[in-house]
């Protein structure tokens, strides 16, 4: 079962008639349109993200329309006005994001944080992007946590921080695409960062960058690096950040960063940092 299918099952168990609120840390809900519906010029008091699980949702912001299908994400900052239409049968998983979760991104990436409330996202417009597997897994972790009988706020905040991190990194990848086109090393880093769990090969990256594998190897070597080194650096950078968050476990971080087992992850972590990986209490 992939992450999107898992989310459909979890969302079906969340109340469709209102949000599930957990100690004012966050709220989540599953919205299912029994028939086609429209929402004109709406504003929300809190920032939120929604993931389309099935069906179709069309959003309009300042006259520009975007069509979202299964796997697409809508990020809406607090106070921004937009309109939306959904087809009958559309299912959307919605999460409110508070400042505590977004503030973690600001601490980890101060130069890339746009605001304390929504990570790397600009707060004057809505955003649409297609979730990669890492982001879908982050959504699934939040949904599963909301289903718990006794949800601890610290654990839920940790899950939301992961989601903001995944979404923000995807957003930064899109924003930097133009600059990355002139810098194959940066472009390679962005690709690896967009899906840390993927076993990126030189052929995979070269195809994405529209160049031959030999040319990519030469350009990376000219900058004193390699795809393997970049893959390790990006994974370890994110892993070190994730381990500082309360509620994280070494096994979870290892899986999120693409390692088959915690032991392999631990060996690489020791080589990189000279110490064993330890999660925050």
> DSSP labels for 226-276?
-HHHHHHHHHHHHHHHHHTSTT--HHHHHHHTT-SSHHHHHHHHHHHHSS-
User: 139 in helix, strand or coil?
Assistant: helix
Q: Identify which of 2, 31, 20 has the alpha carbon closest to the alpha carbon of residue 89.
A: 31
Average pLDDT over residues 57-66: 91
Domains and CATH numbers, the chain: 3-153 (2.60.120.810), 177-273 (1.10.10.60)
Give the whole-angstrom CA distance, residue 96 versus residue 24. Answer: 10
User: Would you state the pLDDT for residue 25?
Assistant: 59
User: 106 in helix, strand or coil?
Assistant: helix
Q: Identify which has the larger pLDDT, 235 or 22.
A: 235
User: Would you state the pLDDT for residue 51?
Assistant: 93
Average pLDDT over residues 196-200: 84
User: Would you state the pLDDT for residue 57?
Assistant: 93
Is the four-CA dihedral 192, 193, 196, 198 of positive or negative sign? Answer: negative
Q: Containing H/E element for 35?
A: none
**Strand order across the beta sheet in which 64-68 lies:** 37-42, 82-86, 57-61, 64-68
198 Cβ contact list (under 8 Å, min separation 6): 133, 192, 204, 258
Q: Identify which of 172, 157, 141, 113 has the alpha carbon closest to the alpha carbon of residue 256.
A: 141
Q: Identify which has the larger pLDDT, 219 or 153.
A: 219
User: Would you state the pLDDT for residue 21?
Assistant: 56
pLDDT at position 1 over 60: no
Give the whole-angstrom CA distance, residue 137 versus residue 133. Answer: 6
Q: Identify which has the larger pLDDT, 220 or 145.
A: 220
The string over 64-85, giving b where at least 16 C-beta atoms fall within 10 Å of a residue's C-beta and e elsewhere, is: eebebebbbbbbbbbebebebb
The answer to whether the predicted template modeling score (pTM) of the entire model surpasses 0.75 is no
pLDDT at position 177 over 50: no
Give the whole-angstrom CA distance, residue 69 versus residue 51. Answer: 9
The tally of CA atoms less than 13 A away on the side-chain side of residue 45 is 1
């Amino acid at each position: 079962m992939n992450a999107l299918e898992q989310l459909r099952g979890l969302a079906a168990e969340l109340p469709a008639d209102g949000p599930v609120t957990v100690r004012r840390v966050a709220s989540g809900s599953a919205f299912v349109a029994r028939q086609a519906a429209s929402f004109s010029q709406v504003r929300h008091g809190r920032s939120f993200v929604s993931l389309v699980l099935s069906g179709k949702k069309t959003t309009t912001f300042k006259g520009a329309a975007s069509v979202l299908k299964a796997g697409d994400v809508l990020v809406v900052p607090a106070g921004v006005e937009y309109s939306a239409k959904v087809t009958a049968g559309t299912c959307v998983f919605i999460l409110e994001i508070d400042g505590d979760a977004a503030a973690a991104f600001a601490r980890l990436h101060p130069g890339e944080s746009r605001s304390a409330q929504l990570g790397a996202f600009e707060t004057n417009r809505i955003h649409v992007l297609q979730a990669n597997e890492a982001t879908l897994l982050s959504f699934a972790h939040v949904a599963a946590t909301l289903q718990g009988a006794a949800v601890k706020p610290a654990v839920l905040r940790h899950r939301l921080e992961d989601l903001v991190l995944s979404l923000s990194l995807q957003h930064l990848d899109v924003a930097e695409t133009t600059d990355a086109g002139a810098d194959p090393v940066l472009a390679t880093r962005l690709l690896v960062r967009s899906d840390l769990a993927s076993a990126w090969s030189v052929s995979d990256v070269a195809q994405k960058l529209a160049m031959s594998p030999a040319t990519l190897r030469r350009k990376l070597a000219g900058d004193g690096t390699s795809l393997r080194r970049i893959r390790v650096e990006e994974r370890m950078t994110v892993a070190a950040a994730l381990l500082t968050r309360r509620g994280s476990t070494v096994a979870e971080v290892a899986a999120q960063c693409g390692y088959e087992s915690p032991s392999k992850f631990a060996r690489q972590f020791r080589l990189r940092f000279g110490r064993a990986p330890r999660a925050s209490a």
